[in-house]
Amino acid sequence: MSLGILEINIILLSLKIAFFATLITTILGFLIALYLEKSQSWVSFLVDILVSLPLLMPPVIIGYALLWIFSPLSPIGKIVESIFGNSIIFTWIAASLAAAIVSLPLVVNMFRVSLLNVEPELKNSAKTLGLNNIQIFLFIIIPVTKRGLLAGIMLGFFRSLAEFGATIIVAGNIPGISQTLPLAIFTRISSGDDLGALNLIIISVTLGIISITINKLILSKKV
């Protein structure tokens, strides 16, 4: 297997997109998980349904929804365009958003399971000792849930690397701009470049094996 500058750039762009997608899902996912863990209202029920929807819908629908929301003709699209100077459609930013939304349910679910490991008695005891909410968060919740949180972050990152359907709709398949590893594999297969596709497939499978291994090690407390 040999990799040229083009393949290396595809991998680096994919890692960049996955990194920013993971940044979004980590922050947003933790806030949503905290809210769902604390609230039992009908609002939290609706939030739970909305967050879970990407697991049940074809990714192309998510891509189309993002295309409609961030279109230069839409109100949100106009606001975003005024901030960035250009539309984010068919850019790596759109690819990151698509990957973030598709991977968000996995991250939220992993975070929620981790938060369930925090015993209420532990938090109550901390309050009786005079700890405030920030101290409880830093010295109790984070240490207890850190393995699950890290596993969720890693899961979201590698799921973002594998995203295809939503990305191709909202970000396109533009080399050097939005062509991620899965899209590059698709392009090479479509053009009959079997060797080029095989090289990228090997890289993709290797990343998948690394992902599973890291998550298993984290959850088994061996790292």
HEC assignment per residue over the chain: CCCCHHHHHHHHHHHHHHHHHHHHHHHHHHHHHHHHHHCCCHHHHHHHHHHHHHHHCCHHHHHHHHHHHCCCCCHHHHHHHHHHCCCCCCCHHHHHHHHHHHHHHHHHHHHHHHHCCCCHHHHHHHHHCCCCHHHHHHHHHHHHHHHHHHHHHHHHHHHHHHCCHHHHHHCCCCCCCCCCHHHHHHHHHHCCCHHHHHHHHHHHHHHHHHHHHHHHHHHCCCC
Q: Provide the CATH number for the domain around residue 195.
A: 1.10.3720.10
Domain range for residue 53? Answer: 5-219
Decide if 183 contacts 167 (C-beta within 8 A).
Answer: yes
Cα–Cα distance between 10 and 18 in angstroms, integer?
12
Look up tokens 């291994």; give the residue: 213
Decide if 117 contacts 145 (C-beta within 8 A).
Answer: yes
Cα–Cα distance between 31 and 51 in angstroms, integer?
12
Q: Residue 221 has what pLDDT? A: 66
Burial of 184 (C-beta count, 10 Å sphere; 0-12/13-18/19+): buried
Q: How many domains does the chain have?
A: 1
Model confidence pTM above 0.75: yes
Q: Residue 162 has what pLDDT? A: 92
**Measured CA angle at 36 (ends 38, 60), to 5 deg:** 170
Per-residue pLDDT of the chain (223 residues; tens, 9 = 90+): 567 788 889 999 999 999 999 999 999 999 999 899 888 888 989 999 999 999 889 999 999 999 999 998 899 999 999 888 889 999 999 999 999 999 999 999 999 988 888 877 777 788 887 888 788 888 888 888 888 899 899 999 999 999 999 999 999 999 999 999 999 999 999 999 998 899 899 999 998 898 888 878 877 765 5
Cα–Cα distance between 8 and 222 in angstroms, integer?
31
Q: Residue 165 has what pLDDT? A: 92
Q: Residue 129 has what pLDDT? A: 78
Cα–Cα distance between 4 and 7 in angstroms, integer?
5
